[in-house]
Amino acid sequence: CLVVIFFQLYGYCYQDSNDIPDTLTTITELGSPLEMIQLLQTSWEDRFRICLSLVRLLHYLAHSPLGSVTLLDFRPRQFVIVDGELKVTDLDDASIEESSCTSNSDCFMEFPARNFTLPCSVEGRCQNMNEKRNLYNAYRFFFTYLLPHSAPSSLRPLLDKIINATGNRNKHDNAKYILFYPSPSVNSEFTQKCVKSANTKYRRVPEAFIPDENYRCWPSYHHKGCLLSVFDVNEAIEICDSYSQCKAFVLTNQTTWTGRQLVFFKMASNRIMPDPDKITYVKVTD
């Protein structure tokens, strides 16, 4: 779990010289800075994976061996992306201290758009303040941007429930359970997306590939072509029918992290090349 949510340390070297006293050099895995604008241009499937990484982090911080841990500087700049997963790089502002209190008014949390007041326990500590702070920061910096944008229509009711729960002070107690166990249902619904039966006919060409005839679409896994994920051939047909320039598509043997198959959509089929790992479908025209 730690390897998944925290930046991995491969080694370190302590250096003490006249020129550079008390210096510690670390060697870590390589990650990409988290740029929200770039993330919004990626597929919803990839953004959902990042949110799941964040959910695992929230769960660990709430139940760490040290107790409940809060990240006082919970911002995108404190995270990086490694192989599609979100990881924490800066723990300088982590704290395990729950705020002391004598009344509920001492447990006041102020945010730019919303304020919360938590109960003061009999032990004189604000109840679950660390966990609440992490959860709301995840809501305002990540979930509100990454989850709803271009989400599958079948999943929007569930996603609305998650977002409303994480941003609502009265639902925070239940929100963590909604968040911590969404992956089976969301993965299942997204992977087994229901599609309408298409009327357009396609000719199946096994062990074949169309090397050219690319066009751009959004969102795409390929910056120079239209490469999307589908559950099955029927969904690929539905997508191809929805693009006026699409005249064929190629099923690859590659899948996304949820098991959906990657498909190239093409605007013509003038040149078909043999390829044992691919299957081409060409739209039949009258």
Every domain of the chain and the residues it spans: 2-182, 202-283
- The more confidently predicted of residues 40 and 196 is 40
Percentage of the chain modeled with pLDDT above 70: 83
For the segment 228-240, the average pLDDT, to the nearest whole number, is 88
The pLDDT of residue 242: 86
The pLDDT of residue 190: 55
Q: Radius of gyration (Cα) for the chain, nearest Å?
A: 24
The pLDDT of residue 36: 84
Helices 129-138 and 44-62, axial angle in degrees (round to 10): 170
Identify the H or E element spanning 190: helix 183-191
Q: Which of 121-135, 159-173, 182-196, 228-242 has the lowest mean pLDDT?
A: 182-196
pLDDT band at 192 (very low <50, low <70, confident <90, very high): low
Assigned CATH topology for domain 2-182: Transferase(Phosphotransferase); domain 1 (1.10.510)
Cα distances from 85 to residues 57, 82, 135, in angstroms, run 11, 5, 18
For the segment 181-196, the average pLDDT, to the nearest whole number, is 50
Which residue among 73, 93, 212, 232 is the active-site one? Answer: 73
Percentage of the chain modeled with pLDDT above 90: 16
pLDDT tens-digit map of 173-185 = 544 444 444 444 4
pLDDT band at 16 (very low <50, low <70, confident <90, very high): low
Q: How far apart are the first and last CA of the chain?
A: 56
From the list 251, 218, 225, the residue with the least C-alpha distance to 236 is 251
The pLDDT of residue 181: 47
Whether 46 is catalytic is: no
Whether 237 and 197 have beta carbons less than 8 Å apart is answered as no
For the segment 203-224, the average pLDDT, to the nearest whole number, is 88
Query: What is d(CA 10, CA 96) in angstroms, rounded to the nearest whole number?
Result: 26
The pLDDT of residue 74: 87
pLDDT tens-digit map of 261-271 = 999 999 998 88
Q: Quick check: 127 pLDDT over 80?
A: yes
- Chain position carrying tokens 């298409």: 198
pLDDT band at 1 (very low <50, low <70, confident <90, very high): very low
- The more confidently predicted of residues 89 and 1 is 89
Is pTM beyond 0.75 here? no
- The more confidently predicted of residues 88 and 246 is 246
Assigned CATH topology for domain 202-283: Hepatocyte Growth Factor (3.50.4)
Which tokens go with 130?
């660390």
